Amino acid sequence: MRTAPTILHLDMDAFFASVEQASKPSLRGKAVVVGGLGPRGVVATASYEARVLGVHSAMPMGQARRLAPNAAYLVPRFGLYKAISDQVMELLRALSPLVEPLSLDEAFVDLEAGGVAWDEASARLAGVRLRADIRAVTGLTGSVGLAASKMLAKIASEQAKPDGLVVIQPGTERAMLAPMPVRTLPGVGPATGDHLRRAGITTVEDIVEAGEDELVRLLGKAHGHGLYAMALARDDRPVTAEREAKSVSVEDTYDVDIHDRLRVGLEVQRLADRCVRRLRGAGLSGRTIVLKVRRFDFSTLTRSETLRGPTDDPGVIREAAARLLDSVDTTGGVRLLGVGVTGLADYTQEDLFAQAAGARVSTERAVEEHAMAPAEEQPVFAGRRWPAGHDVRHAEFGHGWVQGSGLGRVTVRFETPGSEPGRVRTFRTDDPDLEPADPLPLVLPGQDKGRGPKDETGASRLRPVAQYTDADG
């Protein structure tokens, strides 16, 4: 382990919900929940105001509505989130060539590798400046943890939430960890935590006192050794700039079980095409096609087929997915479908016979698949759909966002990130003066929200967010 806290962990605060609050003045300081709004939707992110009411990520949306009936419930705008994430990651890469993103809103940074920190004082200064730059560029807040290892830096950022900075000084790790619950350590989930609790182990110090042999007996060799090392604050994992993808997959959960076998088949073909687009976007191909089916009784079946070589051909992957579906009994209904590709490579092995077959399948299904295409594959507002939280523009009233829609009506609040809370108006869903709009920048040019990287002219080096739409993400 290092002798200075030069590994930084950044975790943006309630990222999706914070973006929505920053873009919608009327929601600032109020409970906001972002996620799937259907009967089977789950919470992606909840604002801190909603968390006080018991709402948390991965919670069923129905339960969230019972806990926080007056919260604002919004459909995610992943294109905008990705654009803002890119801005944050650009700031991190200005600090060091070793940046390890974990998600859109979370990353490790090796400050020492960038030459910006070599001791506690310089590391703390880098963290303070980073938080100020993020605020200046995005208008959002992030929590920073600094420590001599990745595990401890992540624990520090959790302690710093929200909108704070915590430094764990080398040499103090054992004393700091000792009274913490076992769930604090990475890899200790609810099941492992309950197993340890039944053995009388509830704190990190209890793990140390139990000893490595007892941990191995309780949890097995690999997990036991690893957990004991973490309890002793031992973590030599490096920050790696590139994390190799092991699979590419997509899946959809349906509000109403699908019983029609033909519809199930069409959904699988659509998912296969989406998976191919992700593969090609990443410059990858794969050998093994995986089908995931969750049935009406929550039983989940997985089927896979390994090809002779890696491919990114849509016809080949569609046909393989269809063959896998033939082996699955969907009687009773399907609530989730997924298609994935594993055994990834950065080249393809052509299969002319399979491609020819795939081309025939593609031609036969073209009209049907277009009719079945979901919102994310067509413009978000196709068919005059108005997802809650998404941006619109009215010919007379200007820019706003959808508060809700139904019964042929859509309610819009007209406001922008830099305005006061706006007025609410209701229109017909087919009103010709109302149209979808791109998100506006959270921070307007010249707006002073703290420090930000500038070029020779004093202008920000980072691009604005306005050009990104939800279709991009």
**230-251 pLDDT per residue, tens:** 999 999 999 998 766 688 899 8
pLDDT band at 380 (very low <50, low <70, confident <90, very high): very low
pLDDT band at 309 (very low <50, low <70, confident <90, very high): confident
Cα 294 to Cα 69, 319, 327, 328, distances in angstroms: 29, 20, 14, 10
Long-range contacts made by residues 172-178, C-beta under 8 angstroms, separation at least 24?
Answer: 173/147, 173/148, 173/233, 174/232, 174/233, 177/204, 177/205, 177/231, 177/233, 178/203, 178/204, 178/205, 178/208
Average pLDDT, whole number, for the chain? 85
For residue 159, pLDDT over 80 is answered with yes
For residue 378, pLDDT over 70 is answered with no
What is d(CA 400, CA 393) in angstroms, rounded to the nearest whole number?
Answer: 6
For residue 352, pLDDT over 60 is answered with no
What is d(CA 224, CA 251) in angstroms, rounded to the nearest whole number?
Answer: 34
Give residue 169's identity as a one-letter amino acid code: Q
For residue 408, pLDDT over 60 is answered with yes
Say if residue 307 is exposed, middle or buried (CB neighbours under 10 Å; 0-12, 13-18, 19+).
Answer: buried
The pLDDT value recorded for residue 114 is 93
For residues 327 and 260, the answer to whether their CB atoms sit within 8 Å is: no
What is d(CA 258, CA 247) in angstroms, rounded to the nearest whole number?
Answer: 26
- pLDDT above 90 covers a percentage of the chain that reads 66
The pLDDT value recorded for residue 349 is 53
The pLDDT value recorded for residue 465 is 34
What is d(CA 49, CA 468) in angstroms, rounded to the nearest whole number?
Answer: 28
Structure tokens at 132: 């100020």
Structure tokens at 384: 């005059």
| Mean pLDDT (whole number) for 136-143 | 95
What is d(CA 13, CA 158) in angstroms, rounded to the nearest whole number?
Answer: 10
pLDDT band at 296 (very low <50, low <70, confident <90, very high): confident
The pLDDT value recorded for residue 187 is 79
For residue 226, pLDDT over 60 is answered with yes
What is d(CA 303, CA 322) in angstroms, rounded to the nearest whole number?
Answer: 11
Give residue 36's identity as a one-letter amino acid code: G
What the chain holds in terms of domains, given with CATH numbers, is 1-169+438-473 (3.30.70.270), 180-231 (1.10.150.20), 256-372 (3.30.1490.100), 386-437 (2.30.30)
DSSP code at position 96: -
| Mean pLDDT (whole number) for 150-179 | 94
The pLDDT value recorded for residue 222 is 82
376 is catalytic: no
The pLDDT value recorded for residue 383 is 47
For residues 27 and 143, the answer to whether their CB atoms sit within 8 Å is: no
For residues 212 and 225, the answer to whether their CB atoms sit within 8 Å is: yes
pLDDT band at 445 (very low <50, low <70, confident <90, very high): low
Is 329 marked as binding a ligand?
no
Q: Among 88-102, 362-376, 381-395, 442-456, which is the least confidently predicted range? A: 362-376
Cα 156 to chain centroid, rounded = 21
What is d(CA 47, CA 57) in angstroms, rounded to the nearest whole number?
Answer: 10
Which residue did the predictor score with more confidence, 258 or 369?
258
| Mean pLDDT (whole number) for 161-174 | 94
Is 433 marked as binding a ligand?
no
Out of 20, 49, 106, 267, which one is annotated catalytic? 106
The pLDDT value recorded for residue 371 is 32
pLDDT band at 321 (very low <50, low <70, confident <90, very high): very high
For residue 99, pLDDT over 50 is answered with yes
The pLDDT value recorded for residue 452 is 40
What is d(CA 273, CA 378) in angstroms, rounded to the nearest whole number?
Answer: 13
What is d(CA 151, CA 222) in angstroms, rounded to the nearest whole number?
Answer: 17
| Mean pLDDT (whole number) for 212-230 | 90
DSSP code at position 68: -
pLDDT band at 382 (very low <50, low <70, confident <90, very high): very low
pLDDT band at 272 (very low <50, low <70, confident <90, very high): very high
pLDDT band at 457 (very low <50, low <70, confident <90, very high): very low
Torsion angle of the four alpha carbons 322, 326, 327, 328, in this order, in degrees rounded to the nearest 10: 90
The pLDDT value recorded for residue 353 is 42
Residues 64-93 have pLDDT tens digits of 999 999 999 999 998 899 999 999 999 999
What is d(CA 422, CA 371) in angstroms, rounded to the nearest whole number?
Answer: 37
What is d(CA 143, CA 227) in angstroms, rounded to the nearest whole number?
Answer: 26
